[in-house]
Structure 1
Amino acid sequence: MKPKFQSKQQVDINAPLEKVWEFNQDLLKIPLYHPRVDKVDLISGKQFREAGVAYQCHIAGGKHTCIEKDIEIVPMEKIMTVFPADTMGLSKLLPDYVVESSLAKIDPGTTRLEIAHYYSSSNWKVRLLNFYVKRKIAAEIQKMLNAMKNAIETEYHSANPN
């Protein structure tokens, strides 16, 4: 069971569902679109997503890292990711933080990607933090989605000029 829903961001990408899915499966592409990630280490030794695969993201600036782990994959539909550890203390504050990435075909050449965030906010520290960071997280994720849209569309349309 997922914790409490917190927010959702989305973007429509001008590329077929299969291409968006394929792009998102490659963990080494994360730095291409995530503005806060410089590098990804493949902790599980696997470059592509699957349930149980963990990877470490190095946050821009070099001071911090976070470990992400995909816990559920429904091909062409969704990816569920958790954050078991980080060097910033967020995993201790939000131990049940879950991100659900969902894909939907709008038409043959357009895919909607949504990212929803879930975590408990019963702790007074989390409620106070949530007041400040909820909008910040939403803005950062929207920026990431827009960068992913740009990367996928550039890659897809350069390979398929018509």
Structure 2
Amino acid sequence: MKPKFQSKQEVIIKAPVEKVWEFNQDLSNIPLYHPQVDKVDLISGKRFREAGVAYQCHIAGSRHTCIEKDIEIVPMKKIVTVFPSDTMGLAKLLPDYIVESSLTKIDKNTTRLDIAHYYSSSKWKVKLLNFYIKRKIAPQIQQMLNAMKNAIEAE
């Protein structure tokens, strides 16, 4: 069972769903659009997403890292990712954090990409963090989506 839904960001990309999917499948593209990531280590040895593939993101301007792992892939539709560990302590605070990226074909040249966040928020620390996430992190995720849109549309 999924933890509680917390927030969602979305972007409309002027590109076919196949192109958006292909771009998002290549883990080496993450630093091209994610402003918080400057390097990705392919710790599973695979450059493309599939269920069970893990990768380590290096946080830009710091020594911090986080490990992300894709646990479910539905081609052209959905990617479900978890965060088993990081050097900032977020994985301990949010051990059930799940990100679900969904693609929706609007027409043959337009795709909507949604990123939904799920985690439990019963502890007071998590409730405080949730306030921070919604005010600070959500705009960063939207910035990331806009950068992805720009990269895909520029191809």
Fold match (TM-score > 0.5): yes
SS in 2 for 1:106: strand
- Superposition deviation, residue 124 in structure 1: 1.1
Number of residue pairs aligned between Structure 1 and Structure 2:
155
**Which amino acid is the alignment partner of residue 8 of structure 1?**
K
**Which amino acid is the alignment partner of residue 79 of structure 2?**
I
C-alpha RMSD of matched pairs (Å): 0.6
Instruction: Report Cα offsets for 1:82-102 as digits up to 9, x if no partner.
Output: 000000000000000000000
Q: Name the counterpart of 2:83.
A: 83
Q: TM-score, structure 1 length as denominator?
A: 0.94
**What is the alpha-carbon distance in structure 2 between the residues aligned to residue 61 and residue 82 of structure 1?**
23
Structure 1 residues without counterparts, runs of 5 or longer: 156-162
**What is the alpha-carbon distance in structure 2 between the residues aligned to residue 14 and residue 58 of structure 1?**
29
Q: Name the counterpart of 1:28.
A: 28
**What is the alpha-carbon distance in structure 2 between the residues aligned to residue 119 and residue 135 of structure 1?**
16
Q: Name the counterpart of 2:98.
A: 98
- Superposition deviation, residue 35 in structure 1: 0.2
Written as runs of structure 1 = structure 2, the 5 A alignment for 1:51-130 is 51-130=51-130
- Superposition deviation, residue 137 in structure 1: 1.5
Bigger CA radius of gyration: 1
Q: TM-score, structure 2 length as denominator?
A: 0.99
- Superposition deviation, residue 133 in structure 1: 2.1
- Superposition deviation, residue 63 in structure 1: 1.3
List structure 1 segments (4+ residues) > 2 angstroms apart after TM superposition.
Answer: none
Structure 2 residues without counterparts, runs of 5 or longer: none
